[in-house]
Amino acid sequence: MEQKVSNEATNDLIVAVMERQVKRLFSIIVALLALLLITNVGWIIYESQFDKVVITQDASTDQGGDIDISGVAKGDVNNYAESTPDNEDQGPQGQ
């Protein structure tokens, strides 16, 4: 024989299930926040073991231009391994 459950009993059951889910989710959020805090503190401790290097640049050595690397001037593209008579007028090394 079937017994019908009243609406009040169903609502109480649903409320109890939702309260358990809220408690679980709240404990998961607290655990994740604790793990986030632990990993951040660990990262700060890890990074603090290295020396800090401060690079200063004297204004008299650099006038705001680009750094010249291996003799290639600003804007030049050096695609040629060496200069030959055929490509003397094509590359910066042939000039």
pLDDT tens for 53-84 read 777 766 555 555 655 556 555 566 666 656 55
End-to-end CA distance of the chain: 104
In the numeric block, which tokens belong to residue 11?
């609502």
Q: Which residue has the higher pLDDT, 42 or 2?
A: 42
Give the SS3 label for residue 44: helix
pTM (whole model) above 0.85 = no
* Nearest partner of 92 among 78, 82, 81, judged by Cα: 78
Put residue 71 in one of left, alpha, beta given phi > 0 → left and psi -120 to 50 → alpha: left
The pLDDT value given to residue 37: 98
Q: Could you give the CA distance from residue 14 to residue 20 in angstroms, rounded to a whole number?
A: 10
